[in-house]
Chain A
């Protein structure tokens, strides 16, 4: 067995590592994505006061703290058995929509776009956000910077801080908004809708207008037929803040639709000795290893799988784009990993539309944004869709609201098995006997990983879309026969 070790230097950085093994014949035998980090939130949160959780668990991830803050706040609603008033729920969902637009903007322009705008084979020095700006023009850079700045400004305005807001409470939020703030939120939301439309047009022109890229998206090396998970509203439309969890099979059939509090009946987590991160799977089907298909419990929870698991989008512009994507890619479900970028832009547009819907809702400036709980806390589950997948927080407390047990299933963790499989399949499809391993080839394999926007242990973000890689090809006795590096 020859060993090709694709090592994204994170052997030193602690945030993710890919190993690919080759057979003597030069074919890919297996691939492993290792997560070399654990922080132990589920243990050290035991003993904490429950109301601290939205401000402890948001530190799981500084890129998506709003998702943990919100899942945790909803877990407190359930724990204290309190139903927030309509104004509170709408404020939370509006805040969450602003966050989704901001986060998806970062991912698409900094991580996803460089591969398509510059091309997978473009020189490393150009295949980044700066290269994108140079190629498509400064006015686009201005739009992207404005979108991110507006998003962080409003997140701070509403939630107190641009990173790690301190705002959610059981039964509501700590402060509402006044008319003057609402007007600004609405205006920037209308700008966000225009930005969403613009981003989809850009994707149309650059990616869908180029047969080479369309072929790449449709390449069998990037296709995985697994179950798809996402949260849906009462019409089975995509929702990020609240709803039922729906799981649809690779055959398009509904496997399950359940209340988030019942997640333990449907999801379990498998442990491997070579990664600190667990591997969730569908419990009723079982863990069958890293394999595709209806008989394997592996599922994805990504922008694409959310669209696959739903019947449509709740807003008109996003719905039109949803229909177009399935027309172009041949109906539901779409299993093309690289189409995740397209789905992400449709979600961005939906979030912007939802943001404006809520900003123009008459309840949004209401004074009744909080009710005090009166019941004794016991146990509660809170769930939202994080940008990177279904996020579940589950807390148990004593009668004083001191935590006795905590269970978390974090967005990216859902996708741990599929990402491993995608990397392996892309490598198998692209590395054949006698293949000369180039930097561009490595990047094309890496694209399979990047489509998931992985936030392993919530810290693997490399914003310019360049992961440092080292490929070492070893003979069976360990002797290095070739070494190739990128960004080292």
Chain B
């Protein structure tokens, strides 16, 4: 609604997406009829996927006019950064909603590369690309009829809180509809944790996993295509790298329930900053060996892609943040 409309005592809610896949929005719609309760409690002033987008009216609002902004997606382009800054300025409470806004998510795997490498692959090296002129997308292009503009593509994907201050984090790729509803109830009933908190459980996925656990002693790790696991027993005990041990609870252990390992999309459990370090120390403790060389071999052979295994959702947020960029005078490479 515009500012000129009479106040009806309802709070103002904005939802936005940046570098994301839309899954957060789909799961928000997945609260089904409860969306009507949200509409009863809030005027939804911005939600591109589901209601009229009114960015112009957001720009015209006084600062702190929006009570709550749920922002999903990482920051990859100049436009996305603009929207993050705008919504920060206009919102009282800003929530980094879902893995990408919270930790960088899958798009932040691109922090293993530079913009140059990504463009080289997308517009030149991919085998079906037919580009004899060596054309690349430009921020400004002169066409016969005028000038066309594209936003600037950054070298590095950032989390929302690496751009602007954030009050809360809601984990998950995407957050389950039930957890989204829990968070909305907490907001409506003013039962939020202290600012800076992750809104979610303080236990791990293991705590909600139906599989039976005994003592973990592993002689080798198995890749998922190397083993048909027993349907009842803990996957990690069977040698599969399951991230449940380091991952915040909240999903209901959906993936282990259907026979697949947890991939860590809910981020690190309470009190842990770097998901990958936590995972690696957890795995080291279950390897059945005292010999450092043997331990090294077991990890190297069984886990050939440590970034994909341990930082699939959290590279931007991690202590690593990205692969080092080298400025060589001609451009930036990694």
Residues of A with Cβ closer than 8 Å to B? Answer: 1, 3, 9, 11-15, 19, 21, 29-30, 32, 34, 36-40, 42-49, 51-52, 55-56, 59-63, 65, 76, 80, 124, 145, 149, 152, 156, 158-164, 166-167, 169-171, 174-175, 263-264, 267-276, 278, 280-281, 283, 287, 370, 372-373, 394, 400-402, 405, 407, 409, 458-459, 461-464, 466, 468, 485, 487-488
Given known pairs A38-B118, A56-B312, A401-B223, the reply for A164 and B23 (CB within 8 Å) is yes
The answer to whether B48 and A462 touch across the interface, beta carbons within 8 angstroms, is: yes
A-B contacts, CB under 8 A, total:
274
The answer to whether A63 and B32 touch across the interface, beta carbons within 8 angstroms, is: no
List 26 A-B residue pairs with CB atoms under 8 Å apart, sorted by A's residue number.
Answer: A9-B56, A12-B82, A14-B83, A19-B148, A38-B122, A39-B76, A39-B110, A43-B118, A45-B109, A48-B109, A51-B223, A55-B263, A59-B173, A62-B27, A65-B21, A152-B30, A161-B255, A175-B231, A273-B136, A274-B141, A275-B137, A278-B129, A373-B225, A394-B127, A459-B21, A488-B56
The answer to whether B174 and A464 touch across the interface, beta carbons within 8 angstroms, is: no
Which residues in B have their C-beta under 8 angstroms from that of A405? 127
Which residues in A have their C-beta under 8 angstroms from that of B251? 161
The answer to whether A34 and B118 touch across the interface, beta carbons within 8 angstroms, is: no
The answer to whether B22 and A271 touch across the interface, beta carbons within 8 angstroms, is: no
Which residues in B have their C-beta under 8 angstroms from that of A46? 121
Which residues in A have their C-beta under 8 angstroms from that of B226? 372
* Residue of A12, A156, A464 with most chain B CB atoms under a 10 A cut-off: A12
Which residues in B have their C-beta under 8 angstroms from that of A271? 123, 129, 131, 135-137
> What's the nearest-Cβ distance from chain B to residue A228, in Å?
19
B62 interface residue (CB < 8 Å to A): no
* 8 A Cβ contacts from B15-34 to A: 17-27, 29-30, 32-33
Which residues in A have their C-beta under 8 angstroms from that of B53? 9, 13, 462, 468, 487-488
Given known pairs A13-B53, A459-B17, the reply for A62 and B23 (CB within 8 Å) is yes
Q: How long is the Cα–Cα vector from A52 to B76 in the complex, in angstroms?
A: 23
Q: Chain B contact residues (Cβ within 8 angstroms of A): what range?
A: 35 or more
Listed from nearest, the 7 A-B pairs whose CB atoms lie closest are A62-B23, A21-B145, A174-B259, A40-B118, A62-B21, A160-B258, A268-B130
The answer to whether A461 and B304 touch across the interface, beta carbons within 8 angstroms, is: no
* Residue in chain A with minimal CB distance to B112: A44
The answer to whether B21 and A59 touch across the interface, beta carbons within 8 angstroms, is: yes
Which residues in B have their C-beta under 8 angstroms from that of A409? 128
Q: How long is the Cα–Cα vector from A424 to B134 in the complex, in angstroms?
A: 26
Q: How long is the Cα–Cα vector from A167 to B263 in the complex, in angstroms?
A: 12
Which residue from A30, A40, A47 sits with its C-beta under 8 Å from B121?
A40
Which residues in B have their C-beta under 8 angstroms from that of A167? 258, 260
Given known pairs A32-B143, A48-B308, A161-B255, the reply for A40 and B22 (CB within 8 Å) is no
Which residue from B32, B55, B110, B131 sits with its C-beta under 8 Å from A149?
B32
